[in-house]
Structure 1
Amino acid sequence: MTTLNLIVPCYNEEEVITETCSRLLALLDRLIGAGEVSDESRITFVDDGSRDRTWSIIETMHASDARCRGIKLSRNRGHQNALLAGLTVAEGDVLVSLDADLQDDIEAIPRMLEEYRKGAEIVFGVRHKRACDTFFKRFTAQSYYKTLKALGVEILPGHADFRLMSRKTLDALKDFQEVNLFLRGIIPLLGFRTAIVEYERAARFAGESKYPLAKMLAFAFDGITSFSAVPLQWSTRIGALLALGSLGFGAWAVYARLFTDLAVPGWASTVVPMYFLGGIQLLFLGVIGGYISKTYAETKHRPRFIVERTL
């Protein structure tokens, strides 16, 4: 019998975590009753340094049902690190990761298990409908996936972190020692046989999103700079084009001054190119700085998370 462990990262989820636990326990009961998973299956909540009552609720849930387990990180380390903590610390033959806000359809999990029994080692949950999202969020998400594809990053459009992984793939994941985590890009690099299960994303059950626009942009930048050097190549090419353009502009200015009466004294012809080139230089320095900061973080080899307590 397959032992299933549901990994649920949590950060300030006191408003929804009780309902999440209730629905997941009902799902486990159903799967165990049908003989699809072992009665040793469980749910593991990973508290990512929450500032509300999330951990105390996890303790209460564990006291009432031992199948509810908990991993408490010593401080907030971000969603990706919390998810990795659950994937590497929790036990089980098969682990399914999902968000605590109930936007991931838990009814897709039995279909994931079916694909696993057919031989898939990794099963990706892919959103085929995003009716609950705003137009802006749908547009930016689709644009982001297309951008990553164009930059050569191997990523599955519509897939976030709702996935099934076998013990074999989890052991392989432990060999990746990256500090700058972008699991959506790392998991496809593992290889192994994969499958896709489509589902419809629901609205958040309660509480507020933990990914406001600023965090979403930072996460997107991390994904690009962690898996693609194309922005650096673009910086070089655009810089070369601007240099050629500047030479052409200089040649035209000399020609206009010597052979025509088009030259008009003023500051525009000096100030505008200066500010334009200065802005481009600062932009590309920022891109280069992003890569350097990642290299700096990787070379220090600091722990990605510290577990304070487990239940």
Structure 2
Amino acid sequence: MLLPIEDGDEAIVATPVLTIVVPCYNEEEVLPETVFQLSGVLDAFIQDNLISSASTMLLVDDGSKDATWELIERFHASNSYVTGLKLAKNAGHQSALLAGLMRAKSYSDCVVSIDADLQDDLAAIREFIVKFHEGYDVVYGVRQDRTADTFFKRATAQGFYKLMTSMGVNIHYNHADFRLMSRRTLDELEKFQEVNLFLRGMVPLLGFPSTKVFYDRKERFAGESKYPLKKMLAFAFDGITSFSVTPIRFVTSMGFVLFALSVVAGLYAIIGKIMGATVTGWTSLILSVWFIGGVQLLALGLIGEYIGKIYKEVKRRPLYVIEKEVIADQRELASVPSAKPTWVN
């Protein structure tokens, strides 16, 4: 519920400035419909006095090779809601999303992140705003079910969430990057200087009041998915290695187990030698060599992955470079009173 703020003799209704951040990579097919639908959402929220008339959408072009940026510039010229950032090269979904969040937080009271493919339910954003007015700093959009997914995608996704949870990572089940964050949570998120980004795991670490909104995911409106199996597996592996050392501990445990087995095998060989038993053992010897060799390579690769992440973190290279931007006039935004989430018991 909105509360009035007294300003001299006038009462001003504190409505928050909302920015909807949309990472875009080769989205020229779906972008016109995305802008159209998000404009309708902002129109409706402003009319219902849920958000300020200074609210906008921020389209982040993640180094697209098609006409995505040209469309953003065109929409900016004809649609007062549309603003944009163009990254100098493809930095990846998480970096592009972070670029939009960090840019939007300077003039927004709350920010909603959503993909450009229109699979996330836009109607859920209204519930996000309502929860923000109730005092929540983070609102997670969570899928109600995965019945629309293929068996393989459903099984791998659910397996990923369960695996992350079992490794001690605080991650919300069936939540991607469809969420609302308040300005103060974004201010704190900016202090996380990590190069290996996994926002789904980083946001829960902030610890601010949060809640969930459940929704049904739709089919992609147009274009192709930018997350094929290879990228999905790489993203999952990055998430695991960025937030858990359990794989390293697993390798250590495996080393102890193999050491124990080698001791047992050594005792068996010594006893057999004393008793005069002759064992050819060629097959078992070759299999054991291949097995132990494979485990060693796996362990070295896993350790190398962690060392590689440390290497990237130590260099402190920027996550993204902004080439161009088309942003609303900050003087107009500054004239709008800042709002904080308000509620009545």
Which category describes the TM-score, using the shorter chain as reference length? over 0.9
| Residue 306 (structure 1) aligned with residue 293 (structure 2) | no
Spell out the pairing of 1:43-62 with structure 2 (5 A cutoff).
43-62=57-76
Residue in structure 2 matching 1:258, options 274, 278, 301: 274
Distance 1:131 1:49 in 2: 33
Deviation at 1:246, TM superposition (A): 1.4
Distance 1:303 1:149 in 2: 30
2:54 paired residue number? 40
2:182 paired residue number? 166
Deviation at 1:98, TM superposition (A): 0.3
| Residue 5 (structure 1) aligned with residue 7 (structure 2) | no
| Residue 206 (structure 1) aligned with residue 246 (structure 2) | no
1:70 paired residue number? 84
Query: SS in structure 2 opposite 1:7?
Result: strand
Deviation at 1:253, TM superposition (A): 2.2
| Residue 133 (structure 1) aligned with residue 149 (structure 2) | yes
Query: SS in structure 2 opposite 1:95?
Result: strand
Spell out the pairing of 1:85-234 with structure 2 (5 A cutoff).
85-90=99-104, 91-234=107-250
Deviation at 1:269, TM superposition (A): 2.7
Structure 2: gaps spanning 5 or more residues:
1-14, 327-345
Query: SS in structure 1 opposite 2:144?
Result: strand
Contact 1:131 1:201 in 2 (8 A): no
Poorly superposed stretches of 4+, deviation over 4 Å: none
Distance 2:284 2:273 in 1: 13
Q: Which amino acid aligns with 1:255?
A: I
Deviation at 1:260, TM superposition (A): 5.2
What is the TM-score of this pair, normalised by structure 1? Answer: 0.98
Q: Which amino acid aligns with 1:276?
A: F
Deviation at 1:131, TM superposition (A): 2.7
Q: Deviations over 1:151-172 (max 9, x none)?
A: 0001000110000001111111
2:7 paired residue number? none
Distance 1:266 1:245 in 2: 16
Distance 1:191 1:222 in 2: 22
Distance 1:253 1:194 in 2: 61
Q: Which amino acid aligns with 2:209?
A: R
The percent of aligned pairs where both chains have the same amino acid is 52
Deviation at 1:92, TM superposition (A): 1.2
Structure 1: gaps spanning 5 or more residues:
none
Q: Which amino acid aligns with 1:309?
A: K
Distance 1:72 1:181 in 2: 20
Q: Deviations over 1:92-133 (max 9, x none)?
A: 111000000001101000001111101000000001122321
Q: Deviations over 1:284-309 (max 9, x none)?
A: 11111111000000000000111111
Aligned length: 310
Deviation at 1:266, TM superposition (A): 4.9
Deviation at 1:257, TM superposition (A): 3.4
Q: Which amino acid aligns with 1:286?
A: G
Root-mean-square deviation (Å): 1.0
| Residue 31 (structure 1) aligned with residue 45 (structure 2) | yes
Looking at both structures, which has the greater relative contact order when contacts are Cα pairs under 8 Å and sequence separation is at least 6? 2
Query: SS in structure 2 opposite 1:129?
Result: coil
What is the TM-score of this pair, normalised by structure 2? Answer: 0.88
Q: Deviations over 1:30-63 (max 9, x none)?
A: 1111111111111100000001111111111111
Deviation at 1:77, TM superposition (A): 0.5
